[in-house]
Amino acid sequence: MRPDESPFQESDAEREQAFMAWLQAGRLPEIKPGVQQRSARTAFALLESGAALMRERALDALSIEEICSGAGATVGAFYGRFEDKMGFFAALQRLTCLRSEAALEAFMQQHPADGATLDSLCRAMVAMSVQRYRANVGVYRAALKHSDEGAWEPFRRLGDLYRQRLVELLAPHLPGLDEAARALRIRFAYQVMMGTLVHATLNAPGPVQLDDPAMIDELAGLVLGYLRSPG
């Protein structure tokens, strides 16, 4: 895998450290208040277990007992930290969004607009987005399948943030368009990219699957070609 295809890969220790910081800052309100550090580690292990299991299992088919078994925790420990399975999933969604926000900020710092070409920025942007979907495919799939219950709303807001920051990054590389046209072009490119990833996550229609190495190449070529097209 090329370096630009894993723009934000945390170690297990970094993931836990970030989780603890967000929990302490009150950014994971779905976890019951008053959770101490040792107890918080159990909450972290439960969330990691659920995310791993959901890569292959639908949320509806996943039991609390399985989540607990994967984390080496008891069912009582689960209910000491989460109201129920949907409360647990809401916490997992929020944690996924927080990690994606951190990935976006790291990406923006690593790829200043004046230090790269449109080609390299497009490929890096696509690589980051594909990597986030691959890393959280079960969470995204469940949120999409439960979208009528509002489960996709956190990711819709996350998409708004991504579009805003990507317009800031890419607009200087589209000098042939006026400001409004640049923003529309970038936002629509992002929409097309996300539509492809959502379709691959939900339906896996092919010919290129989410985990296929060709996904980044083909999607980056598609986005770049559109951004470069005449005004």
| Complete domains list, the chain, with CATH | 3-228 (1.10.357.10)
CA angle 137-140-145, nearest 5°? 120
* Token couple for 151: 């489960």
**pLDDT tens, position by position, 50-84:** 999 999 999 999 999 999 999 999 999 999 999 99
Instruction: Please give the single-letter amino acid code of residue 155.
Output: F
**pLDDT tens, position by position, 205-229:** 889 999 999 999 999 999 999 999 9
The helix/strand/coil state of 35 is coil
**pLDDT tens, position by position, 142-181:** 999 999 989 999 999 999 999 999 999 999 999 989 999 9
d(CA 146, CA 85): 13
d(CA 143, CA 155): 8
Closest C-alpha to 131, from 225, 211, 48, 49:
211
